Amino acid sequence: MTNVLIIDDHPVVRMAMIFVIRDIYQDANIFEANEFPEGISILNNNPISLVILDIHIPGGQDIKMISMIKSLQHKTKVLIFSGLHEDQYALKYVQAGADGFLSKRSDPESYGEAITTVLNNEIFLSKSIRDKVQGDLAIRQSPIRAKRWVGLTERELEISRLLIKGYWTKEIAVELDLKLSTVSTFKKKIFSKCGVTNVVELSKIIDDVLPTPD
């Protein structure tokens, strides 16, 4: 059962998000809180799969709220849903432990994609932010130092390149003609070997991956 908690002090925003969730997960249990302490109370009494969190809410503590939620339920996904400019804040919150950043300025059609992406254990960032991350990495790219990456197989390096370029798991499966479950297994192995938990962390560590030919 999917349990979703929406922490936002705007009833209209919560209602809109509920419609999106119901369209994807008809049987989901949806909890609402219009201030952060109320959200914490719900987390203390219910298993929650996903928290959709606005940053500017009564009783909020900005970036600290992410670790507070994770400390209560470490498997809970946190999707930041904010009116802040994503080009300035998206990576900041993901690097702090959030599982995605969804701008309230974005196309409503992306709301469902953000929710399903995060619940499928992937980081959600808009295409523009993913392209920015890719561009920043391209500036630093240089040939692989084999000694440093001896622990990763050629296939793992290939999948790492695509992850860092912003490909979703299903896109990698199509690109490499692999089963979705196979790509997921490779992804877990890569994260384990590199000691990371998401693609943003991976991109910081593997900063010397050869660019894949266009």
38-71 pLDDT, tens digit per residue, is 999 999 999 999 999 999 899 998 889 999 999 9
Predicted confidence band of residue 192 (pLDDT cuts 50, 70, 90): confident
Architecture category of domain 131-205 in CATH? Orthogonal Bundle (1.10)
Q: Could you tell me where in the chain the CATH 3.40.50.2300 domains are found?
A: 3-125
| pLDDT mean across residues, the chain | 83
98-138 pLDDT, tens digit per residue, is 999 999 888 888 899 999 989 988 888 888 887 776 655 44
Q: Could you tell me where in the chain the CATH 1.10.10.10 domains are found?
A: 131-205
Predicted confidence band of residue 207 (pLDDT cuts 50, 70, 90): low
Q: Does domain 3-125 have CATH number 3.40.50.11270?
A: no
The span from the CA of 29 to the CA of 22, in Å, is 9
The span from the CA of 159 to the CA of 168, in Å, is 11
Contact yes or no for 193/160 (Cβ under 8 A): no
| Secondary structure letter of residue 213 according to DSSP | P
The span from the CA of 23 to the CA of 160, in Å, is 33
Instruction: List beta partners, residue 146.
Output: none
DSSP string over 2-22: -EEEEE-S-HHHHHHHHHHHH
